[in-house]
């Protein structure tokens, strides 16, 4: 047992835990305001486009994460545009952007003739975090945390009913834009760590679980963070000790917790 816990003394593992903790905090905070506004798929879409930016970054030899953020921000505004074009089929914009992102990524990767480490960004790598990665994640976490706590009332109003929020004088266009940019930045900042394919799970599943049992809105947002942190910390520890895929383990734990919550709620009602 003592040997098993030795892993906590390794710097790479400590960094993984710290990075995981920060992501576990910010992902559901952003996610809550997407899920409750029925934009759950935005996370997945932006992560796929972000990969294209990462690939271009490798190709031209400049910051892959920077390009990832740029692509995700552009994509999020393109989605809004497409949503108004296909008003009655809004989900079409998601399908177009998602496949478009992967198409562009594969195009850039083929131009790089296999010299790029893009696959790392598909599944992520928790154990190769360096100080730069941690600083980036910590900065974005602080921005998200400040934005959500300082604007909690306004975000509630917007999420409950956008029209009524506008009529009460809230600058809803500005808030929509800020949420969009923040989502794009959050996703791009974490895909190197959690991977483009699973980032959406960290954003949506904790919110899904907390929605079932929350008593009020504030409760639902912070409970999602609690779910998320439990899964991240236990998941990374299990992965470290038994050598399983860390993000996959976290997501599976989240799904188990979601199922547990649904069963608990049903049983409790009876």
Interacting residue ranges for another protein, rule: CB under 8 A: 36, 38, 150-151, 153-154, 156-157, 159-161, 163-164, 166-171, 210-211, 214-220
- Which residue's CB is nearer to another protein, number 131 or number 270? 270
Nearest-approach distance from CB 130 to another protein, in angstroms: 36
d(CA 228, CA 125): 18
Query: Is the CB of residue 20 less than 8 Å from the CB of residue 236?
Result: yes
Nearest-approach distance from CB 164 to another protein, in angstroms: 5
Nearest-approach distance from CB 219 to another protein, in angstroms: 7
DSSP characters over 23-62? HHHHHHHHHHHHHTTT-TTHHHHHHHHHHHHHHHHHHHTS
Nearest-approach distance from CB 87 to another protein, in angstroms: 11
The two tokens of residue 158 are 């917007």
- Which residue's CB is nearer to another protein, number 47 or number 159? 159
- Which residue's CB is nearer to another protein, number 214 or number 245? 214
Query: Is the CB of residue 90 less than 8 Å from the CB of residue 83?
Result: yes
d(CA 47, CA 74): 12
Query: Exposure pattern of 30-61 as b/e (b: 16+ CB <10 Å)?
Result: bbbbbbbbebbbbbbbbbbbbbbbbbbbbbee
Nearest-approach distance from CB 210 to another protein, in angstroms: 8
Q: Is residue 171 classed as helix, strand or coil in its secondary structure?
A: coil
- Which residue's CB is nearer to another protein, number 125 or number 166? 166
- Which residue's CB is nearer to another protein, number 47 or number 210? 210
């Amino acid at each position: 047992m003592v040997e098993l816990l030795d892993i906590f003394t390794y710097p790479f593992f400590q960094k993984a835990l710290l990075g995981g903790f920060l992501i576990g905090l910010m992902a559901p905070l952003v996610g809550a305001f997407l899920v409750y506004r029925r934009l759950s798929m935005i996370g997945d879409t932006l992560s796929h486009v972000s990969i294209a930016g990462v690939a271009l970054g490798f190709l031209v030899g400049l910051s892959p994460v920077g390009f990832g953020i740029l692509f995700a921000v552009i994509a999020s505004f393109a989605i809004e545009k497409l949503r108004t074009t296909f008003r009655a089929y809004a989900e079409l914009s998601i399908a177009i952007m998602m496949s478009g992102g992967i198409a562009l990524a594969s195009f850039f990767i083929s131009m790089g003739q296999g010299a790029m480490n893009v696959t790392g960004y598909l599944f992520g790598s928790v154990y190769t975090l360096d100080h730069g990665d941690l600083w980036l994640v910590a900065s974005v976490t602080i921005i998200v945390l400040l934005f959500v706590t300082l604007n909690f009332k306004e975000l509630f109003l917007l999420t409950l009913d956008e029209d009524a929020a506008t009529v009460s004088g809230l600058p809803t266009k500005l808030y929509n834009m800020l949420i969009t940019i923040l989502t794009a930045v959050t996703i791009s900042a974490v895909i190197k760590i959690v991977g483009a394919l699973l980032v959406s799970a960290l954003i949506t599943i904790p919110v899904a679980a907390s929605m079932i049992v929350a008593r009020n809105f504030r409760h639902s947002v912070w409970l999602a963070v609690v779910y998320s942190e439990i899964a991240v910390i236990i998941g990374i520890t299990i992965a470290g000790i038994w050598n399983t895929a860390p993000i996959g383990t976290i997501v599976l734990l989240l799904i188990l917790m979601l199922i547990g919550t649904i069963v608990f709620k049903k049983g409790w009602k009876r």
